[in-house]
Structure 1
């Protein structure tokens, strides 16, 4: 059992954690969530005893072994395999003692007994299995660490931690350096881990499939919720609904008290009662309103129409310095296509993305694309290359030459950078804010095709969901590379497997692909069914036949959102006039109720249109 007792941490004059307390169940698998910058990593460091709190304490069994990945990746001439084996300190020490110190017979017997007890002789096989799961084949396990990038060396650090099997496993966004395949393996590994896990993660699937409790950090406080992420979200929605109802009730009570005080303060017969109500009003603590978070704003501008296909690859090859990485690529992208690229890191997903974007030419075969095609291509490098001394406004102004200031600010506003936020220095922004700015920059000219290479690395769960919704509202084509399975499932309807020098349509679902990666029976083999040429023609015809329906569905969905928002504005004007929008100020309740009736009717019609369009799409497909 792990107990967090009233932890307070102040950094740079700001209170990060404010009396945070929770008791975590023994052998619990805890998903630790909260908005970016809320203090999750800070509390994790306090638990790992790497940071001393200003007050409070962490209680856990004295004999419990704790494991936590350090921020610095391992390096040197040792290999990943050697690094992982060395992580079991007790085994390593016993093996050295056995081999070099020539212990007495009774001590030798003790060593052998202990080595058997800790399963030491199967350790090399276990270490190798973990490394394979995280993307290191047999040859890669025996290369020196210095030959790897920082991201791959962080995988070695994760492998070493998992191999050491601590009683308390602390993981801070472990999938950040992993591809989809390694993320799937990690999720499967953690499901069977037989000790306490606390994992900071923004992966919805991991939080639903692995954890049995959610620890939510907000406003410096932590709250433990039973169940996975979907359970937490449902409980949070109920709490916010109750909060809104309580605010409305309080507003009505406040208005009633204010009205009584105004009418009765000047009359001697009722002045005492008015004073009593004035005191009650003064003691009434306002119920906080759920704050609209600008980091949840994504709004991709819609491109003008282009005739299909947007991109056509026929027997194409692509690579670097005259050497092909991928060959014989047959792929067609149409407007409205939603495509996800699957395959381990290093297999060529980014190379294919660069070919589709026009950054790399086809070395063989052919590539056809309209001259007017505009592509928005997002990579982590764009986030890292933002000028820390400039503001979002300065970045956007440089790229939108000739645009007036209102147009520049309008594009920034689509991504939550309005008002003062457009003029803050990039160096003071969080990773998620920088990613949002990079997305704003690459979509400034309303691209017909969006290519997103790991867009969620710095985004929390809520912001990822906002991005998925924005992609679904976007009228152009999307190609996404991501280790976030939920994002792929929610935003892609075609899967392309990049593997063994080829890129081909994956015939199964993402679940089939998961099964094939984890080696379970029934996984899709990744081979297209039937004749490839006929399949492509049939798929193109189906997309063209349903294009109008998909557009109608998006239009209806946008109308539903707009009308629902208007209904909410009217309700606020009716229940709490002080919070209403300017357009509703001074309007009578009768006028508002009449408009609400019209909005309700229009909303019902829009919902019906949305349902009918989606039913027709499903029937056609």
Structure 2
């Protein structure tokens, strides 16, 4: 059992945690979630014992072994393998002690101690430690050669993987993980999720990965406005409970506002009359005591709206036996890839296999070393990387960044593009250095899409986004009418926003024939589809011919898609007009335009005509959608 008792933490005059209280069951798996900046990492550090509270405290068993990754990555000449083995402090201490003892047999006490050490090493399963360490490192992407290279030869991201491997290997009673997948690719994230499922100790994990929160944890600890609330189940169960609670609060707020209005009306009418002044005064006191129920506020950090480009004829991109690399080194070859204007592709494959190289080739940042590479005329590309987030000028504002890039555009047009991503009003004029990581990522997305690109390439776009912001990004991508290429370790994003999987492996890129579940099984060694590249045991498929036929089918159905879109727009227009009439009939005071002077009978007649038009438009819409489906089986 882990008890959080009335914890209050203030930083810089701001209350981060406000009498936060919760009882976390023993052996539970807690997903700690909340908006960026809510205080999740602060609470995690308190549990780890590396922070102090202003009020309250934490109760836990005294002998509890806690595992927590420090902010600094390991470094030095030690190898990842040696670093991970050293994380088992008891094993390392016992082996060091044994090495310093006399093994000659002349010292009887030394021999007894050696026997005790061997007995303890057997009890803690120390002899399997090298195999376990190697298994964890392989799962996190380290091959045999990488496991035995000095730590200082790795980048910061890979060093953090070593720190994670060491923590998992140490098997603490309470495992604390703060966004453990941030430095991982999809493949390592899948392995980590599988590992955590079988972990036997208690766990508190800060994560924005919806799949991990659904598949690994059994409780959600939600941090909001300094308070914490414990919900049973995974993320989907939490979201259902939160939505129900929000609906209840909205209903309670509406009832409270009606009650306040009645009290205010009574006070206004009766305060001046001697006979009712006392009652009015009593109601005024009741009104003053009434605590307002907070309204659910629209969060600008959840705003993503990609401008859709003008149409281009397919194919958008065509690669035929192309090769790509740097200098004289070929990274990818035999690239045979076609993309059409409305395709959504996710690139799969471990880090280092060439996903970024392929993305840069598609973005025309590098030229093909051989083969054919063609794009549709006037094609524009928006390419998002983490480097763009880091390279934003900290002293400048979003407005200044956008104005520089949109040369010649009117101030209104610049503001409109910023507004698509939630940077309106004061948000547009705050310094980038004072913005959160998620806000900077949104700004980078706003900058790269200022010209309505036909192809959007997103390389790990979710690293700084919380769960709600990721969901908003997925919705925006699904509304976007251009083509999309995604590189992401967030499985939910890949599943929700991509309809085609391309595996970058073995020095080339090929379509993966199975689903993301098949790919997961393959990564975790459970069999399933082996993907492209001719490695599958099934019959060979001419993917190039298959894509050509699919493209021809899309061209034939272009008129059908336009008819479906027009019918959908008509349904939307008619529905909006009918809602306006209903509002005017329900509350004439809110009527606008011609509805203000129209009689009820006139409005009812128009509504009846709208119902008939709407039924016809809906029928045309459904028929057009069915025709599109038949044209694209």
TM range (shorter): over 0.9
Question: 1:425 matched to which residue of 2?
Answer: 431
Is the CA contact (8 Å cut-off) linking 1:248 and 1:575 kept in structure 2? no
Q: Pairwise CA RMSD of aligned residues?
A: 3.2
- Mapped partners of 2:606, 2:135: distance in 1: 62
Question: 1:64 matched to which residue of 2?
Answer: 64
Question: 1:100 matched to which residue of 2?
Answer: 100
Change (3 A) 1:161 1:342: same
Is the CA contact (8 Å cut-off) linking 2:314 and 2:551 kept in structure 1? no
Per-residue deviation, 1:539? 2.8
The alignment status of 1:486 with 2:492, answered yes or no, reads yes
Matches within 5 A, 1:203-602: 203-527=209-533, 529-545=540-556, 547=558
Change (3 A) 1:500 1:63: same
- Mapped partners of 2:29, 2:22: distance in 1: 14
- Mapped partners of 2:576, 2:19: distance in 1: 37
- Mapped partners of 1:195, 1:595: distance in 2: 68
Question: 2:106 matched to which residue of 1?
Answer: none
Per-residue deviation, 1:271? 3.6
Per-residue deviation, 1:609? 7.2
Change (3 A) 1:550 1:41: farther
Per-residue deviation, 1:272? 3.6
Q: Secondary structure at the match of 2:520?
A: helix
Bigger CA drift: 110-119 or 153-162? 110-119
Bigger CA drift: 531-540 or 42-51? 531-540
Change (3 A) 1:165 1:570: farther
Is the CA contact (8 Å cut-off) linking 2:343 and 2:483 kept in structure 1? yes
Change (3 A) 1:549 1:2: farther
Bigger CA drift: 111-120 or 248-257? 248-257
Cα deviation digits, residues 225-274 of structure 1 (max 9, x gap): 01111111111111111111111112222222233333333444444433
Is the CA contact (8 Å cut-off) linking 1:251 and 1:576 kept in structure 2? no
Q: Secondary structure at the match of 2:441?
A: helix
The alignment status of 1:114 with 2:92, answered yes or no, reads no
Change (3 A) 1:524 1:217: same
Q: Secondary structure at the match of 2:350?
A: coil
Per-residue deviation, 1:379? 0.2
Change (3 A) 1:480 1:604: farther
Bigger CA drift: 538-547 or 364-373? 538-547
Q: Which runs of 5+ in 2 are unaligned?
A: 103-108, 535-539
Change (3 A) 1:566 1:239: farther
Q: Which runs of 5+ in 1 are unaligned?
A: none
Is the CA contact (8 Å cut-off) linking 1:87 and 1:164 kept in structure 2? yes
Question: 2:33 matched to which residue of 1?
Answer: 33
- Mapped partners of 2:514, 2:37: distance in 1: 38
- Mapped partners of 1:570, 1:165: distance in 2: 64
Per-residue deviation, 1:33? 0.5
- Mapped partners of 2:609, 2:442: distance in 1: 33
Per-residue deviation, 1:536? 1.9
Give the number of aligned pairs: 620
Q: Secondary structure at the match of 1:401?
A: coil
Cα deviation digits, residues 161-183 of structure 1 (max 9, x gap): 00000000000000000000000
Per-residue deviation, 1:574? 11
Change (3 A) 1:561 1:482: farther
Q: Secondary structure at the match of 1:365?
A: strand
Is the CA contact (8 Å cut-off) linking 1:29 and 1:210 kept in structure 2? yes
- Mapped partners of 1:510, 1:445: distance in 2: 32
- Mapped partners of 2:320, 2:218: distance in 1: 48
Q: Secondary structure at the match of 1:223?
A: strand
Question: 1:51 matched to which residue of 2?
Answer: 51
- Mapped partners of 1:303, 1:9: distance in 2: 48
Cα deviation digits, residues 476-521 of structure 1 (max 9, x gap): 1000100000001111001100001010111111110000000002
Q: Secondary structure at the match of 1:175?
A: coil
Change (3 A) 1:269 1:211: same
Bigger CA drift: 502-511 or 244-253? 244-253
Change (3 A) 1:206 1:249: same
- Mapped partners of 1:469, 1:99: distance in 2: 60
Is the CA contact (8 Å cut-off) linking 1:298 and 1:416 kept in structure 2? yes
Cα deviation digits, residues 320-375 of structure 1 (max 9, x gap): 00221000100011111101100000000000000000001111101011331110
Per-residue deviation, 1:541? 3.0
Change (3 A) 1:121 1:249: same
Change (3 A) 1:589 1:149: farther
Q: Secondary structure at the match of 2:143?
A: coil
Q: What TM-score comes out, normalization by structure 2 length?
A: 0.91
Per-residue deviation, 1:534? 1.9
Bigger CA drift: 599-608 or 207-216? 599-608
Change (3 A) 1:291 1:87: same
Change (3 A) 1:596 1:225: farther
Is the CA contact (8 Å cut-off) linking 2:17 and 2:227 kept in structure 1? yes
Is the CA contact (8 Å cut-off) linking 1:327 and 1:502 kept in structure 2? yes
Change (3 A) 1:541 1:498: same
Q: Secondary structure at the match of 2:182?
A: helix
- Mapped partners of 1:589, 1:106: distance in 2: 103
